[in-house]
Structure 1
Amino acid sequence: MDRRILKTQKAIIGAFIQLLAEKEFEDITINEISDRADVSRGTVYLHYIDKFDLLDKCIDIYFKKLFESCMTLNGTTLLLSKSFMIRTFEYLEEHAFIYTTLLVNKGIPTFRNLMMDVILGNLSEVIDASSIKRDINKEVTLQFLASAIVGLLEWWIIKSIPIPAKDIAEQLWSLLERFQVIPHLPDSN
């Protein structure tokens, strides 16, 4: 892709993220986005159908960046693991402004929902592969755990990262082991 197009799209998305940090999604206009990005309205419309398309593309970009950075190790996709959790929290810490904005803005639950879906999928595979007792309905277990993990991520990022990334990841892993959500593995890194 042409470097000028990438530069323009980056400016538009950057302006959009800044505006999302300042106001609710529904209150943002294409004029504000174009002014902040220092491009014309027509340029915004050249790249995006409307602000909903821009939001979708923005979420796709940052969701892919998060999971491409955290979910692969040496070219292989990871299931739920301590190293995955540590990398995820470290990545969120490093890019806190963007992810705080995407999680905090009440007008855009899409990012949170995508996180829930990925965590549900990973947890489902972990539970299927483990020897965890099946005395509780699997769907109840999955919903409870995924909600707890996403809730913890939200709390941690919204509260301006009150605990270092490695520490919160290790505490979460410890809780999952303690409550026998995941089997205690001596080499679970």
Structure 2
Amino acid sequence: MGIYILPSFVLSNKIQRKDRSKLSALFSSEQFVSSVYMQKRDRRISKTKKAIYQAFLQLLNDKGYDATTVQDIIDLADVGRSTFYCHYESKELLLDELCRYLFHHLFEREEHLTIEDYLAHIFLHFQKNQDHVTSLLFSKNDYFLRQLHKELEHHVYPMVADDLQEAYPSIPASYLQHFVVTNFIETLTWWLKKGKSYTEDQVVRFYLDVIEMTSITPLDN
């Protein structure tokens, strides 16, 4: 019986398939290791940023923004200076990210909510000082107040804009917007400092009643 020798190109193809299989397995293994590493790295980053956030918020509550230094944050968060600056170039940029995070949750609105329910949600969030957002309000920090104004202009003013502009067509829309936003902040501040005997629903009604007094027709829900 003769010995059958496989052609060289067949052997070559088999070797190549075997090599490709090994390479594929190796690549998959490296992908897995890389994925695990990235997950661990992401968790470390998340844990570090959470520690910085919590330290910053506590310091805002205890000392206020202006009196808080980067060194204070580093010490309380128990992170290295290089670690802090790896994530944030300054406490101003930390505040910027914090505001974006807070406002995203604060002004998130479900479609079925009425004006009253939506505003009550905002008032209640401040009353509970969730995420220390009230500490930022009382700190009178210019950046925070500017960002809060912008969010209220974007989310709250449009709810009442049509009625006010119809009632007062000769008054600039920018003034009406300023009126609605500043009165909202003043009402919120009054309630948190002096009006705690009232519920958030009652205070929202006070606010809307004052707005309605300036318009010809009651505001729609």
TM-score tier, shorter chain, comes to 0.7 to 0.9
CA spacing shift, 1:58–1:159, aligned 2, 3 Å: farther
SS of aligned partner of 2:95 = helix
Q: Which amino acid aligns with 2:167?
A: I
Q: Alpha carbon RMSD of aligned pairs, Å?
A: 2.7
4+ aligned runs moved over 6 Å, structure 1: none
Residue 160 of structure 1 and its aligned partner are, at CA, apart by: 8.1
The equivalent of 1:113 in structure 2 is 146
Once residues 41 and 182 of structure 1 are traced to their aligned partners in structure 2, the CA distance between those partners, rounded to angstroms, is: 58
1:12-52 superposed Cα distances (whole Å, 9 cap, x missing partner): 01111111222243332222111111222222112111211
The alignment partner of 2:167 has SS state of: coil
1:98 deviates by 0.8
Q: Do 2:55 and 2:73's aligned partners in 1 also have CA atoms closer than 8 Å?
A: yes
> Match of 2:184?
149
Choose between structure 1 and 2 for higher RCO, CA contacts under 8 A separated by at least 6 residues. 1
Alpha-carbon spacing, 1:111–1:120, altered in 2? closer, same or farther (3 Å): same
AA of the residue aligned to 1:47: H
Q: When the two structures are aligned, how many residues end up with a matched partner?
A: 179
1:62 corresponds to: 102
Gaps of 5+ in 1: none
Check if 1:89 corresponds to 2:129.
Answer: no
CA separation in 2, counterparts of 1:26 and 1:112? Answer: 14
1:127 equivalent in alignment to 2:161: yes
Give per-residue Cα distances to partners, 1:93-150, cap 9 Å, x unaligned. Answer: 23357122111224x2222212222323442563236743424333222222221111
Quick one: percent identity of the two aligned structures?
28
In proportion to residue count, which structure has more helix? Answer: 2
Q: Which residues of 2 match residues 1-189 of structure 1 at below 5 A?
A: 2-68=42-108, 72-74=109-111, 81-96=115-130, 98-106=132-140, 108-121=141-154, 122-124=156-158, 126-128=160-162, 131-159=166-194, 161-180=196-215, 183-185=218-220, 188=221
TM-score, length of structure 1 as denominator length: 0.79
SS of 1:180's partner is coil
Q: Distance in 2 between matches of 1:109 and 1:125?
A: 25
2:107 is paired with a residue whose SS is helix
In the TM superposition, residue 92 of structure 1 has moved relative to its aligned partner by 1.8
The change in CA–CA distance for 1:157 and 1:112 in structure 2 (over 3 A counts) is farther
